[in-house]
Amino acid sequence: MGAEGQHIQYLISGITLGSIYALIALALVVTFNITGIFNLAIGEFVTIGTLSAVTLRSAGCPDVPAFVLAVLIAGVIAATMERAAIYPARKASILTLIIITIGVAIALRGAALLIWGTHPYPLPPFVDTAPIALWGAVIIPQMLFVLGLAVVAVMLLFAFFDLTYAGKAVRAAMINRNAARLVGINPARLSLLAFVFSGMLAALAGIFIAPITTATYDMGFMLGLKGFVAAILGGVTNVKGAIVGGLLLGIIEAFAIGMLSSGMKDGIAMMVMIIVLLICPTGIMGLRIYNKRTGSWMVWLRQKVGTGSR
Amino acid sequence: MASAKSRYWIALILVVVCVPLFVKSNYVLSILIVIGLYAIIVQGLGLLMGYAGQVSFGQAAFYGLGAYTAAILATKCDWPPVLCVLVAPFLPALVALIIGRPILRLREHYLVLATLGFGILAFAAFNESIALTGGPSGLTGIPYLSIGPLVLDNDRSYYYVVWGVLGLVILAVANLTGSPIGRAFKAIHASEQAAQSAGIDTALLKLQAFVFSAFLAGLAGGLYAFWVTFVGPSPFGFTASIEFVLMAVVGGLGTLWGPVLGSAIIVGLAEFLRWGVPILLPKVGGEFEIVFFGIIFVLIMLLRPQGILAPGRPSGMSGVAVKEEKCSG
């Protein structure tokens, strides 16, 4: 494999992993915008969804129903988490809420350990096709599924925001929580919806990436953390930013691991996060570019929720 | 008033001194030592959180940095152990001084994630810089702590060292929080803008609290290295950082004894679960008892978010008013 092929390989695996980071970041950003809470337990939903799918499959359930059921299980657990732990403390301080989500994460990780133990579970790829060679790089077919998931999920999400009444209510709450409440949007129901949505999206992301990595009880921890890094990279409150941030993080990581060392794999993401927080805490979406025509600095990517607006 | 207070102190000191006379089991003594070490760290963190109103989810990094500094000085440079323990806290403090100013500009979630990221980065560095730290297999051959001919090679004597140091730390924190600096800290906690407008250099004070907390974590790290005489990366990971924050919160922020109580509760709870859960569920292996750990934290946060010793309203990063304090900082 030539140097060029290798770079294309890095790029492809970066985009694949980056799509997963982007989906998790998306789940985080939507929840954060609606509830003001960073759900530090997000990674555990990746784990629970994936391992449930593995178990359902080995119990004889066909692929697609197993995946749907696993995502629903994650949704139910997310709903339980919101009602039992987040809703009663919704007026508490931010530190309290952060510790609550960490407590839930610890409990869920313990539960995963109790049910599935420490050994890794393989999840076979969705289709049994040979890898595709492209410009000296190798594409595993599963990577295409991951990319497809990311594209479909993002399109569906934006369609939901734009075309449905519930989506418009969510957008209103994301823009201004108090004003949304004044026009009769129920924040408690939206908070529940946000947690269920993010739990299900995280589970889906895990199920799609598991054939490439493997499924273990602690797989979600680092994925969740990198979702955070992606969200921060994208400016925390910005839906589009989360997607760009996820892809960017995946690509940076793939190149850094390929060209430097694999030992610092998790360190690289953290370094990216700290650098972004220190230099440009609003993320890449806060970057400004100089517009020659108007002679002024403009925000590079405008913050907007949804695709079309009126 | 003063005599009542000093009587209370003498009683406490007597209890701490007498405990090893009644406790014969080395297991219990080692748990008490761990509680003492963690209480030293949590005193610093409690000052940072309860007084300066900042949070750090990266204290385990400073703890590890102190432990590795002490271990490397003792094994590779052959420094005398006592000197190592005394020097070790200065490296974490220096690191805190360098990273403190930019990091402490951040607030709320950003501060949580930045310190958490720093902790994970440090953990990766402990694992990866094999030439210096021995990587995952760690550093062995650390001598026991010795002062002249006196070698502290058993848990009983080490208990006195750790709790003696903890006593000094508590004394220092008590003096600090009663001083103008302590009142300035409380003012920052209540409202940073108000403190600033009263002429307090809030950035400097926050940095001082951060450096002090790193120093204490490093001190505990150095003591840890000479107690177990082996330093590997595993006690300095992300989980430890979270546990330190939990200890500080559970005990009660802004209280002198909260950190000690919080450390005792969390360490005691972990040991109890490790012992009790396998009796209830004998068939399963692994450290799944953390499931109960997580549930208990959530319950404590829901039922008593201000911690056990702190009175009244919950305090945290929300900036709950501390009414009567005026500052001359």
pLDDT (tens digit per residue) in B160-200:
889 999 999 999 998 888 888 888 888 887 788 888 888 88
A95, A106, A117: residue with CB nearest B317: A95
pLDDT higher than threshold 50 for residue B100: yes
From chain A, pick out residues whose CB is under 8 angstroms from the CB of B297: 99-100, 102-103, 106
Distances (CA, A) of A307 to A107, A157, A163, A165, A240: 38, 10, 10, 15, 10
A:B CB pairs within 8 Å: 143
Q: How confident is the model at residue B327 (pLDDT cuts 50, 70, 90)?
A: very low
pLDDT higher than threshold 80 for residue A84: yes
H or E segment at A42? helix A42-58
The CATH number assigned to the domain with range A3-299 reads 1.10.3470
- The whole-number pLDDT of residue A301 equals 53
Check residues B141 and B31 and name the one with the higher pLDDT. Answer: B31
pLDDT higher than threshold 60 for residue A201: yes
* CA–CA min distance A203, chain B (Å): 20
Determine phi and psi for A231, rounding to 5 degrees: -65, -40
CB contact (8 A) between residue A278 and residue B315: no
Measured between CB atoms, does B295 come within 8 Å of chain A?
yes
Joined together, the tokens standing for residue B134 give 């021995």
pLDDT in tens, A93-108: 787 888 889 889 988 9
Q: How confident is the model at residue B320 (pLDDT cuts 50, 70, 90)?
A: very low
Joined together, the tokens standing for residue A38 give 């960073």
Range with the lowest mean pLDDT among A82-96, B217-231, B276-290?
B276-290
B106, B124, B288: residue with CB nearest A266: B124
Put simply, the chain B residues between 232 and 261 with a CB less than 8 A from any chain A CB are 242, 245-246, 249
pLDDT higher than threshold 80 for residue B329: no
Joined together, the tokens standing for residue B312 give 């009244």
Chain mean pLDDT for chain B: 83
- The whole-number pLDDT of residue A74 equals 93
Q: How confident is the model at residue A298 (pLDDT cuts 50, 70, 90)?
A: low
User: CA-nearest residue of chain A to B290?
Assistant: A110
Total-model pTM: 0.84
pLDDT higher than threshold 70 for residue A2: no
CB contact (8 A) between residue A263 and residue B128: yes
Rg from Cα positions in chain B: 20
Measured between CB atoms, does A244 come within 8 Å of chain B?
no
Task: Sketch the domain layout of chain A as residue ranges.
Answer: 3-299
pLDDT higher than threshold 60 for residue A262: yes
pLDDT in tens, B245-294: 888 888 888 888 889 999 998 898 888 887 777 777 666 655 667 787 78
Distances (CA, A) of B15 to A16, B20, B22, B163: 60, 10, 11, 11
Q: How confident is the model at residue A137 (pLDDT cuts 50, 70, 90)?
A: confident
* CA–CA min distance A290, chain B (Å): 27
ipTM over 0.90: no
pLDDT in tens, B280-317: 766 665 566 778 778 888 888 888 877 777 765 544 44
- The whole-number pLDDT of residue A299 equals 58
pLDDT in tens, A148-159: 898 998 888 888
pLDDT in tens, A202-260: 999 999 888 888 888 888 888 998 998 899 888 777 788 889 999 999 999 988 888 87
From chain A, pick out residues whose CB is under 8 angstroms from the CB of B295: 103, 107
- Percent of chain B predicted with pLDDT > 70: 91
What is d(CA B176, CA B157) in angstroms, rounded to the nearest whole number?
A: 29
- The whole-number pLDDT of residue A294 equals 66
Check residues A269 and A1 and name the one with the higher pLDDT. Answer: A269
Measured between CB atoms, does A56 come within 8 Å of chain B?
no
What is d(CA A103, CA A97) in angstroms, rounded to the nearest whole number?
A: 10
Residue type, A307: T
- The whole-number pLDDT of residue B321 equals 38
In the block, tokens 């679960």 appear at B273
